[in-house]
Structure 1
Amino acid sequence: MCGITGWVSYRRNLTHEQATLDAMTETMSCRGPDAAGTWTTPQAALGHRRLAVIDLPGGAQPMQIGDVVMVYSGEAYNFTELREELIGKGERFTTDSDTEVVLRGYLTWGAAVADRLNGMYAFAIWDGRTRELVMIRDRMGIKPFYFYPTADGVLFGSEPKAIFANPLAKRVVGVDGFRELFGFVKTPRNAFWEGMQEVEPGTIVTVSEDGIRTRTYWRLESKPHNDSLEDTVGHVRELLDDIVRRQLVADVPRCVLLSGGLDSSAITALAAAQLDEPVRSFAVDFVGQAENFQPDELRSTPDTPYVHDVADHVKTDHSDIVLDHGALSDPELRRKVVGARDIPAGLGDMDASLYLLFKAIRGQSTVALSGESADEIFGGYRQFHDPEIQRANFYPWLLLMRNMHRESSLAPGLEKALDMRTFLIDNYNSAVAEVDRADGEDDFTHRMRVMSYLHLTRFVRILLDRKDRMSMAVGLEVRVPFCDHRLVEYVYNTPWSMKTYDGREKSLLRGATKDVLPQSVVQRVKSPYPSTQDPQYVADVTRQARALPATHPVFTLIKRSALDAGERHSMERILNLATWLDMYQPEMMF
């Protein structure tokens, strides 16, 4: 895993811009603590920070073959097969890295190399033969990738902070950015910052002297599902076994993230079955949480007993990372979290605890496997199973939030300018229009397909970005087996009746992995990522929010009266926004 950045300019000589390129590259040091490299030519400048995971001595970047140079972030899990195929075509390799496989794949197949990759990746190739920059992002959007068109070219980077290290980029947030922030919907291409875009997942962006053009090489497509239930469950298991085997490949210490839920427990058990030594597992917990746990609207049980059941069942080398309220509410930690994400889109203590969990893990492992995205793929969230939400023409997770009575705390001027209701309805209708109907699909099955599509294209990308930013902020590579595009495609096209064949959520995943799991986890009801219940945490963030000066610009975004209620979510949001405003000093237009 790495951090990439670069600059293409067709009207200036970038060999004179080394200092700026160095500054852009240095912002990615957290993503790549092991090595740094830059490369310049008059029209192109590329920067790279490396986290060495495969072929530690080799794989240095930028990597050049002839007139073609690449900076690459991520992992190609099928690089061994591609390497053999390329050797058969006459290619000769000088390293054992997947980076060289991707670059030589480009030399052989051009940008169509993307169609052959299985993995998580964001990479940019300067093709000196055509004087073009080719930017490619993985199918599910696991690895972030941003670009910023300029008058004569483009800036790009793994994160916005790399682009902002170039004086050509301006820190401006407009109505579209704030809608993205407060809407909790990931609009394709929207990068929050004015003038900046994301390379959309499954997309190739090519920059030339004639401008910028985009081509989609992968999208979710609706197809008939003809397998029996038994064959479907069996194929899901075959895919998971292959995916986990591939994603365990690394030349550095590996581990798994274990929450005690079905998703992470399945990954843990499958990993343990494939390793000769005990798999390392890590879980987050809070001081006093297991002993004093109180069920709430989202979580009916604490994680720790189930975590320990799995660890005992598959005999992992397990560690609990136990956090207290003071660590979670620390303003310095909040700065690190906001700085890692570049936007104040945090989930309060859930972001803070994730950062601290990853930081603790990084002391023992460099690669971690996560159960992220199983709920979106297999239908695990509560909203998937609510008849009223199933029938509604709106984003399902937002309806669930609305049902939990969360009121807007936006300042009146901002709320009027954003007109969130109209924005979200239009956004929803655009998303639904992208969904094809499979032949012979009945109305209810198609409606559930639409719900699945919304989660896989407008919701999971928020969570994938969060996980990437929090992990890479401490130099930890987190892999997400459930995002393998083969599994996503297969389950997406499996009818809802099969996804709930046992009358519960995530039936296919449960059926495919129940033989390797303790019964307690097989029967456990879905529980989201944990959040501290310590009242001292709420007291801490409330005190910090109320200590903000009345003149702080955060109160142009959030009603100051929100402080009076002391509602936890509002306190966390105010502090995140205030921290972001202090750190980034953005120009705001609304």
Structure 2
Amino acid sequence: MCGIAGVYGEDLSKDSRRNEIQQMISSLQHRGPDGWGYYISPEIALGHARLSIVDLATGDQPFATDKYVISFNGEIYNFIEIRQELEKRGIRFKSTSDTEVLLRAYEYYGESCFEKLNGQFAVLIWSKVEKELLIARDRFGIRPLYILNHKERFYFASELKAFDTIEGYSREFDIKRLYEHALLWNTYGDHTIYKQIRSLQGGTYAKYENGKLILEKKYYELGNNNSYDKRSFQQAEEEFNYLLEDSVKLRLRSDVPVGAYLSGGIDSSVITHLVKENTEKKFKTFSIAFDDAEYDESTYQREMVDQIKSDHYTLNINNKQIDAAFPDAIYHTERPVFRTAAVPLYLLSQKVKENDIKVVLTGEGADEILWGYDSFKEVKMLEFWSKFPDSSIRPQLIKKLYPHLSHYRDERQYGMMKMFYEGFLGDFDNKLASVNIRIHNNKILKNYFNRDHNLSYEKDSMIKEMDSFFPEKYTSWSLLQQNQFMEMNTLLSGYLLSSQGDRMSLANGVEGRYPFLDHRIIDSLFSVNEKFKLNGFSQKYLLTQSFKNKIPKSILNRPKRPYMSPDLKSFFVNGKPTENVAFFLSDDLINEYKIFDLRFVQRFMKKFSTGVPQNIGYRDNMIISFIVSTQIANYWMKNPKKYVLSEDLLKIKIVDY
């Protein structure tokens, strides 16, 4: 995996263009610490910071042919098969890299090549003959690609911090989009929380010519081939098992050792089991253990390690470490977060790097495609209840929503829970129905924003603005399919894969690979009988049944719980905020940044002056994480780090003047 950057515009001198691309790449060298290079011409500059994984000897970038130049971040897992296909058509190669395969495929097939790729990627391809720039991103937006339009030039980068190196430019929050992010845990479509910056959507390519965007087109959309699925459970299980194992095999392709993360849940346990089945060598696994027993899953991790006999490393995390590393983690997330869960993953990737591992397989994506999130259960329960809203039996399902939360089983609190969910019964006739509860829970954050911003949540106007974001077939899908689309296009790509996946691993030069996000698996599962994914309230049913005799029963049968780490507990000690929190939430900084209302922040902080209660709720943890991380993200914008790129790492230098 790598970092890429580009500068497109004709009003720069050669020296200015070279300096800009070098500065942009210097800010991305954590993504690609093994070498860097650049290409410059009168129209464009492309830069690349490389993490060497495939073709260590001849895979340096930018990679050029007589007609094209490419800067590519990612992996094409089926590059061997595509190469063989192209060689049969007379195409000759000068390297063994997937980079060249991608470029030759584009030369031969044009834009339709992206439909052939099984991978995770963001790519910039410059046509030296046609003077045309093509950019593209993988189907699900696993690898990032940001676009800045500034001073009649276009800038492209894997991370936002690359734009901070541009002379005369400073990132600024778009407060409306920041509030949107607060409601959805991400902005939708191609929006970001920053002015002038957009993100190329997953499954999209775009073309630039004569200094202008001339075309932007989706080459993939979730559910496009959705039709009534008549497969039996056995047929669906056989296809799923084959595709998942093949996905793991493809993602084990590497010229460097591959490891895996092991959380103690079913998703990562299945992946490590399949790695064990498909590799001859002993491999390394990595886990997080917490000093706080409420969050610790090490018992389940050890059970899986005992079964697969991996070379295992456990990183023990305490609250003090989470607080200390939070500012650095936010520097890499480049956006506010709603919990501290990113920090342990940031610290774990440091240990992975120290163990000389550059690639790890992880279990991300299973909850979205196999309906493992609690939002799927809530939607299903509400839809079932809404058909008979006066029923006294149907709302009893509330007690089964969250097995790991004792208050949901408490008869004394049932009435309050019933009133809460009852409020959503009549709200299924709009495109945001599947995220109603998330938005409702997060609207409390509006109270903390500075009143001068005049923020408000207006559902109808949000839906109207989002209409171009929804696929044509969206309204014909079931409510659970709509929920999957929303989860994958808000929470997964723009938040989880960003703040807990791509950014936290590549902050330390480690590439994450996600077998569950193979498009073949996702397409196969989208239209399968819904009971195969959510059977009653049994989540990820197809996965649990497929592996019921292959991983420990204790892992299969444990109640589903999200990966979390201590939030408020990390930020307060004996009723006092930590030094980090005291600084970022100081009166002076709150007043200087003008994002939040000082009185509300002060009132919130006073709630914990006598200590953090043992059973603190979701909302308070979310509020402190969001406010502190927003302040930190703003701090890094106003105080960008300065980097020097070592000339010793320069591998490719192409000047086309």
Measure, in 1, the Cα distance between the counterparts of 2:467 and 2:554: 41
Q: Partner residue of 1:442?
A: none
Q: Partner residue of 2:624?
A: 571
**What is the CA-CA distance between 1:573 and the residue it aligns to?**
2.9
CA 1:484 to 1:161, structure 2 compared with 1: closer, same or farther past 3 Å? same
User: Are 1:459 and 2:474 an aligned pair?
Assistant: no
Q: Which amino acid aligns with 2:259?
A: C
SS at match of 2:560: coil
Q: Partner residue of 2:331?
A: 339
SS at match of 2:42: coil
Measure, in 2, the Cα distance between the counterparts of 1:199 and 1:136: 8
User: Are 1:136 and 2:175 an aligned pair?
Assistant: no
Q: Which amino acid aligns with 1:483?
A: L
Q: Partner residue of 2:551?
A: 517
Q: Partner residue of 2:297?
A: 303
User: Are 1:413 and 2:451 an aligned pair?
Assistant: yes
Q: Partner residue of 2:25?
A: 25
Q: Partner residue of 2:177?
A: 177
Q: Partner residue of 1:355?
A: 346
Does structure 2 retain, via aligned residues, the 8 Å contact 1:432–1:450? no
Does structure 2 retain, via aligned residues, the 8 Å contact 1:255–1:369? yes
Unaligned runs of 5+ in 1: 294-298, 439-444
Measure, in 1, the Cα distance between the counterparts of 2:472 and 2:108: 33
Q: Partner residue of 2:587?
A: 550
**What is the CA-CA distance between 1:497 and the residue it aligns to?**
2.1
Measure, in 2, the Cα distance between the counterparts of 1:582 and 1:206: 34
Q: Which amino acid aligns with 1:142?
A: I
Deviation track 1:112-146 (CA, whole Å, cap 9, x = no partner) reads: 22111100000100101110110010000000001
Q: How does 1:94-243 map to 2 (within 5 A)?
A: 94-150=94-150, 152-167=152-167, 169-183=169-183, 184-209=185-210, 211-212=212-213, 213-220=215-222, 221=224, 222-243=226-247
Q: Partner residue of 1:312?
A: 306
Q: Which amino acid aligns with 1:23?
A: Q
Unaligned runs of 5+ in 2: 384-424, 609-619, 640-657
SS at match of 1:86: helix
- Of 530, 537, 542, the residue aligned with 1:496 is 530
User: Are 1:477 and 2:511 an aligned pair?
Assistant: yes
Does structure 1 retain, via aligned residues, the 8 Å contact 2:176–2:455? no
Does structure 1 retain, via aligned residues, the 8 Å contact 2:326–2:340? no
User: Are 1:531 and 2:531 an aligned pair?
Assistant: no
CA 1:317 to 1:487, structure 2 compared with 1: closer, same or farther past 3 Å? same
Does structure 2 retain, via aligned residues, the 8 Å contact 1:202–1:218? yes
- Of 316, 324, 343, the residue aligned with 1:322 is 316
Q: Which amino acid aligns with 1:45?
A: A
Does structure 2 retain, via aligned residues, the 8 Å contact 1:373–1:460? yes
User: Are 1:285 and 2:289 an aligned pair?
Assistant: yes
Measure, in 2, the Cα distance between the counterparts of 1:354 and 1:398: 29
CA 1:395 to 1:430, structure 2 compared with 1: closer, same or farther past 3 Å? farther
Measure, in 2, the Cα distance between the counterparts of 1:69 and 1:463: 32
CA 1:88 to 1:161, structure 2 compared with 1: closer, same or farther past 3 Å? same
* RMSD of equivalent CA atoms: 2.5
CA 1:44 to 1:535, structure 2 compared with 1: closer, same or farther past 3 Å? closer
Q: Which amino acid aligns with 1:250?
A: S
Does structure 1 retain, via aligned residues, the 8 Å contact 2:8–2:45? yes
Measure, in 1, the Cα distance between the counterparts of 2:301 and 2:319: 21
Measure, in 1, the Cα distance between the counterparts of 2:267 and 2:450: 41
**What is the CA-CA distance between 1:498 and the residue it aligns to?**
2.2
Does structure 2 retain, via aligned residues, the 8 Å contact 1:395–1:428? no
Measure, in 2, the Cα distance between the counterparts of 1:539 and 1:147: 41
Q: Which amino acid aligns with 1:217?
A: Y
Report the number of matched residues.
567
CA 1:88 to 1:176, structure 2 compared with 1: closer, same or farther past 3 Å? farther
**What is the CA-CA distance between 1:268 and the residue it aligns to?**
0.8
Does structure 2 retain, via aligned residues, the 8 Å contact 1:25–1:47? yes
CA 1:397 to 1:585, structure 2 compared with 1: closer, same or farther past 3 Å? same
Q: Which amino acid aligns with 2:449?
A: A
- Of 240, 246, 265, the residue aligned with 2:269 is 265
Q: Partner residue of 1:581?
A: 634
User: Are 1:367 and 2:400 an aligned pair?
Assistant: no
Measure, in 1, the Cα distance between the counterparts of 2:433 and 2:572: 29
Deviation track 1:374-413 (CA, whole Å, cap 9, x = no partner) reads: 1011000112112455464446456157469966542351
**What is the CA-CA distance between 1:542 and the residue it aligns to?**
2.6
Measure, in 1, the Cα distance between the counterparts of 2:586 and 2:372: 42
Does structure 2 retain, via aligned residues, the 8 Å contact 1:538–1:568? no
Q: Partner residue of 1:508?
A: 542
CA 1:12 to 1:429, structure 2 compared with 1: closer, same or farther past 3 Å? closer
Q: Partner residue of 2:402?
A: none
Measure, in 1, the Cα distance between the counterparts of 2:111 and 2:173: 33
Q: Partner residue of 2:643?
A: none
SS at match of 1:148: strand
Q: Which amino acid aligns with 2:275?
A: A
Q: Which amino acid aligns with 1:97?
A: S
Measure, in 2, the Cα distance between the counterparts of 1:18 and 1:412: 41
% of aligned pairs identical?
Answer: 26
Q: Which amino acid aligns with 1:448?
A: L
Does structure 1 retain, via aligned residues, the 8 Å contact 2:337–2:629? yes
**What is the CA-CA distance between 1:217 and the residue it aligns to?**
0.4
Deviation track 1:565-589 (CA, whole Å, cap 9, x = no partner) reads: 2344433333222222222129xxx
Q: Partner residue of 2:374?
A: 382
**What is the CA-CA distance between 1:307 and the residue it aligns to?**
1.1
Does structure 2 retain, via aligned residues, the 8 Å contact 1:225–1:493? yes
SS at match of 2:120: strand
Deviation track 1:529-553 (CA, whole Å, cap 9, x = no partner) reads: 1313894653288344345432223
Larger radius of gyration: 2
